[in-house]
Amino acid sequence: MPEGADTRREPTRAPPSALYVTLPNLITVARLCAVPATVWLILHGRMDLGFGLFIGAGISDAVDGWLARIRNARSKLGAILDPLADKTLLVSVYVTLAAVGVLPDWLAILVVFRDMLIIGGFLMLWVLEAPPRVRPLLVSKLNTALQIGLAALALGLAGFNLAAPLLLEAGIWATAACTLVSGAAYVWLALRRVPA
């Protein structure tokens, strides 16, 4: 080796695949793959099994987030996959529960429309070169909690032949109200970011 040559080694970099194939991401992909199975079970009247799969998906959501934090395994792919899996599961379950008459169709339409409105607003701001900071609002977190709670309640009641009409009705109206408020909040924030 010539005298004075730089003997420092280049830092070893993990191959690109190692950045994506993490345990939290694998759990998230499994949750995404559970969506068609959940829809199939609901459509075939197996609400009890659909309820179990839905609860399992919810637990996996908490587990993959916890693992990502303690193992320092956060990734850009995980940041995209996690909300995608959550939204795909929720929207699919709401549409399917409406299709079989367990939840009102207008609520499923409202849930889907809100998400489409947010995605459309995000894309519009991106085209206008004013991309928003992707950070969920407090009312959006409450909305997600109410949507999950109502879906679990509806599946549980239908799956185990239980009746709680007042509780179900209260959950429907609370979820609808929160869905409207959170959608309006995102529209207001998007309008504020539109360049003059």
CATH (domain of 173): 1.20.120.1760
Q: Does 9 map to a domain? A: no
Under 8 Å between Cβ of 77 and 143 = no
> Residue 20: what pLDDT?
63
Name the residue range of residue 151's domain. 17-193
pTM to 2 decimals?
A: 0.84
Cα 185 to Cα 50, 180, 195: the distances in Å are: 32, 9, 18
Q: Does 121 map to a domain? A: yes
| Torsion from C-alpha of 57, 61, 63, 65, nearest 10 degrees | 170
Domain count for the chain: 1
Q: Does 8 map to a domain? A: no
Cα 136 to Cα 28, 83, 127, 132, 153: the distances in Å are: 19, 10, 21, 11, 24
Q: Taking the chain (196 residues) in consecutive chunks of 10 residues, what is each chunk's mean pLDDT?
A: 48 50 87 96 97 94 84 78 91 98 98 92 78 78 95 97 97 98 89 71
Q: Does 12 map to a domain? A: no
> Residue 183: what pLDDT?
93
